[in-house]
Structures are given as C-alpha cells and as structure tokens.
C-alpha cells in the first residue's frame, strides 16, 4: 500500500508565518511639566498683611470713624502717620470729604439725624463692616478705637454696634488688650435738641460699657468746651482745632512713651495703665513763670481746670494720671527739680485718694515750658450729662435740678 501524503507537514526549511501586530500609539511627552495642576482656590501662604504706621509709637492703634464727625477724627490720625484707619458712613457723599484711602458706605441714603435708621443699616451690613476692618487693620495691632460724633444719626446709631464689632475682631485675633477705645465728640449746646438728645443716649450707653470693662479708654471731645477755651474761631479752624486738641495730645503720649529722656521717662507701661483706666481727659498747662515752686503748682491747679478738654468731670474722681513736662534746653538747665516736684505733688492732690501720677521730663525744641496731662479712672461727667439731657429734653433722666412735672 502506498503511503498517504502527509498533510500540513512542516519541514525545518518551511518558514513560519508571523502574525502582524498593531503598532502602539506614540505618547506625547512634554518636557516643561509633569502634571496639569487643577484650578483649585488655594490659601495664600506666607503673605505679610501687616499694616505699618509711618510713625513710631508705644502701641499700634487702629481707628474706625463713623459718621462725618467720626470720619474727621479718624482722618486727623491718618494725617499724623497712623495707617490702620477706616471711615464708614451711611452716605457716600459724606465720605467724599474724608481724605483717607479706606472708606466704606454701608448705605446710600444717609441717616437723617436718626440713630435708629443708621443702626438698622449697620445691622444688615455687619459682616461687611467686619471684613473691611480686617483688611484695613491687618492681623497685628494692639487696640481698636471707635471715633464718632455723638450728635449725628450715623455716629450715634453705629457707635455701640461698632464697639461690639471691634471687640469681636480683637477677640478673634486673641489680642491681649481687651478694651475697645472710644473717642466721642459731644455737640455744642447751640446744635439743638435732637443733636444733644442723640449725644446723651450715646454717652449713657458708653458709660455702661465702661463700667462693664468693654470700653477703655473713653476719651471725650467736648465741642462746647472747645468753644469756651478757643472763643471766636471761624468754622474751618474750629473743627481742625477741636479734633487736633485731642488727637495731638493722644499722639503725644503714644509717641513720647518710646522716647529716651536724659531726665525721667514716661514709658509704655505707664501709658498702658491710662489706656486701661476707663474714662480719660487730656489737658495742657503752659507755664510762663517757674522761679518759685508755687508758680508751677498754681498754674497746674488753675490752668488745668480751665484747659481740660471736657466739661462736667470732677478731676477728684481720677485714679491715675500722667504729667509730661517738655521744656527748652535753657529752661531745664535752670529750673530747680524741686519746683517741678511741687507741680507733680499738686496734680496728685487734685486726684482721688491712692492715685498714681506717672511722670516724664523731656527736652523740647522750643524755649517754652509746658506740662501735658492725661487723667484716667474718672467718674461720670454728670454736669455735662445734665446739660445734654436738658437741651435734648430727655424725660427719663433723673436730674435733681430739673422741675418735676405734676401728675
């Protein structure tokens, strides 16, 4: 039998067919980066948001001025070199004359001398105002001051709410100084019933916050008192004089507390005791004679009573004071130290029992002799409150001199 033909016999010489393979696509490689970063909002790391003043003081203060009067006071501090300054108002128009960069109108129609209108506007914009303060002040500072004119609707209506917002911000930053400072301008008697009534109510509420330790210091700028000290001033210089009277003196104590003295220094801790003492008033006593110890004590006793920048306050209620003497080179080379000590003793006797008087003696650039004073821990300005209540026709104020209405 013939052998069958073998099927599919593959010899060693027979080539094996190779199955075709699909080539892999080439991967595009970018040498510039490895991954595509997604557009996810990221926190800023390492950015320094600290606001720097253009002056050197013992403390870094912030100022938020509300209303036209408060905005003017805040602007005064800006002009001195403080840079943590914000002005707020219920009308953009009123902010136009305040020449600082940080301004915010939280309404558009104004308050029309009605504090309730301003307070309602402020309540709706509470968080916006807080954000504006954060941006204007930065993360590092020592204390916030609220500055207001107590006669107007915006200043009167936002003063207390601003104090609470300032305290909220200070506590969120865990600042050591818990008190919120307030500089409040009181109206002249001639400004009428509504202005004085607004001021009375603001002062009443502020004094309650002083008692609670929420507000410190409370600095009163009494425009009626300024009018008495500087009679006959025209309109433009009156407001400039009124604001600089307090602002310049406050700034003096803040800046001089970091100055070296070849005699006696007023230091930051001395200033701190004043800032924490509650209600404060400032004064300045120019001395024309100093040859006899009684010359200085008499000038302090009489001139301080005349030149103190708030009426109706009993200086005998004060618990702490600062007296800074600035004199020319020739004067300090000749005046006996015992004469100055006599003046310091006089100031101490004017205050309440167990009071403290911090002293400073510095050489100035003018051949004059002036004692600058700050008195803190004061009681209520009862006499001024009586005036505000009378002119404002406040019915619920217990004024012993006010005739009782028959029932």
pLDDT digits (tens, 9 = 90+) for 145-192: 999 999 988 999 999 999 999 999 999 999 877 799 999 999 988 899
Read off the pLDDT band of 112 (50, 70, 90).
Answer: confident
**Is residue 378 included in any domain, yes or no?**
yes
Read off the pLDDT band of 47 (50, 70, 90).
Answer: low
Contact status, residue 144 vs residue 180, Cβ threshold 8 Å: yes
CATH number at residue 163: 3.40.50.1440
SS3 398: coil
SS3 80: helix
Examine the pLDDT at 5 and tell me if it is beyond 60: no
Examine the pLDDT at 23 and tell me if it is beyond 80: no
Contact status, residue 383 vs residue 222, Cβ threshold 8 Å: no
Tally of domains within the chain: 1
**Is residue 122 included in any domain, yes or no?**
yes
Strand 369-378 and strand 320-327: the pairing is antiparallel
Measured between alpha carbons, how far is 279 from 244 in angstroms, rounded to an integer?
A: 19
**Is residue 295 included in any domain, yes or no?**
yes
pLDDT at 237: 75
* DSSP-derived secondary structure letter, 402: S
pLDDT tens track for 243-302: 777 899 999 999 999 999 999 999 999 999 999 999 998 888 888 888 888 888 888 887
**Is residue 404 included in any domain, yes or no?**
no
pLDDT tens track for 381-397: 988 999 999 999 887 66
**Is residue 406 included in any domain, yes or no?**
no
Examine the pLDDT at 405 and tell me if it is beyond 60: no
pLDDT tens track for 69-91: 999 999 999 999 999 999 999 88
Measured between alpha carbons, how far is 223 from 220 in angstroms, rounded to an integer?
A: 9
Read off the pLDDT band of 307 (50, 70, 90).
Answer: low
Cross-strand partners of 184: 148, 220
Between 306 and 66, name the one with better pLDDT. Answer: 66
Which of 7-21, 126-140, 274-288, 290-304 has the lowest average pLDDT?
7-21
Domain that holds residue 338: 61-392
- N- to C-terminal Cα separation, the chain: 152
pLDDT at 338: 93
**Is residue 47 included in any domain, yes or no?**
no
Instruction: For residues 357-373, give the mean pLDDT.
Output: 93
Contact status, residue 58 vs residue 81, Cβ threshold 8 Å: no
**Is residue 218 included in any domain, yes or no?**
yes
pLDDT tens track for 186-215: 998 889 999 999 999 999 999 999 999 999
Read off the pLDDT band of 10 (50, 70, 90).
Answer: very low
pLDDT at 407: 31
**Is residue 52 included in any domain, yes or no?**
no
The pLDDT mean for the chain works out to 85
């Amino acid at each position: 039998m013939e052998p069958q033909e073998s099927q599919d016999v593959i010899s060693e010489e027979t080539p094996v067919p190779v199955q075709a393979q699909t080539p892999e696509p080439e991967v595009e490689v970018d040498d510039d980066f490895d991954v595509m970063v997604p557009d996810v909002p990221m926190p800023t790391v390492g950015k320094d948001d600290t606001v720097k003043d253009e002056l050197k003081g013992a403390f870094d203060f912030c100022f938020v001025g509300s209303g036209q009067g408060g905005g003017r006071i805040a602007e005064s501090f800006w002009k001195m070199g403080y840079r943590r300054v914000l002005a707020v108002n219920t009308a953009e128009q009123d902010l136009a004359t305040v020449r600082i960069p940080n301004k915010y109108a939280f309404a558009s129609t104004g308050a029309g001398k009605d504090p309730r209108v301003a307070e309602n506007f402020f309540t709706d914009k509470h968080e916006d105002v807080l954000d504006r303060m954060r941006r204007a002040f930065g993360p590092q500072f020592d204390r916030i001051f609220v500055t207001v004119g107590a006669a107007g609707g915006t200043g009167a209506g936002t003063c207390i709410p601003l104090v609470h917002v300032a305290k909220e911000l200070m506590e969120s930053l865990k600042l050591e100084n818990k008190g919120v400072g307030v500089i409040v301008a009181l109206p002249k008697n001639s400004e009428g019933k509504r202005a004085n009534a607004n001021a009375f109510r603001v002062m009443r509420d502020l004094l309650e916050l002083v008692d609670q330790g929420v507000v410190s210091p409370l600095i009163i700028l009494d425009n009626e008192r300024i009018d008495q000290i500087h009679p006959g001033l025209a309109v433009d210089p009156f407001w400039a004089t009124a604001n600089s009277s307090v602002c310049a003196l406050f700034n003096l104590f803040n800046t001089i507390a970091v100055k070296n003295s070849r005699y006696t220094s007023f230091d930051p801790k001395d200033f701190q005791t004043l800032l924490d003492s509650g209600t404060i008033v400032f004064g300045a006593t120019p001395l024309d004679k100093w040859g006899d110890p009684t010359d200085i004590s008499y000038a302090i006793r009489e001139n301080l009573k005349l030149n103190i920048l708030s009426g109706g306050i009993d200086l005998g209620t004060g618990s702490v004071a600062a007296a800074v003497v600035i004199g020319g080179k020739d004067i300090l080379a000749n005046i006996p130290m015992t004469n100055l000590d006599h003046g310091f003793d006089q100031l101490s006797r004017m205050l309440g029992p167990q009071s403290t008087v911090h002293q400073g003696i510095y050489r100035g650039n003018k051949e004059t002799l002036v004692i600058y004073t700050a008195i803190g821990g004061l009681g209520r300005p009862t006499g001024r409150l009586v005036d505000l209540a009378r002119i404002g026709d406040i019915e619920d104020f217990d004024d012993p001199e006010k005739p009782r209405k028959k029932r």
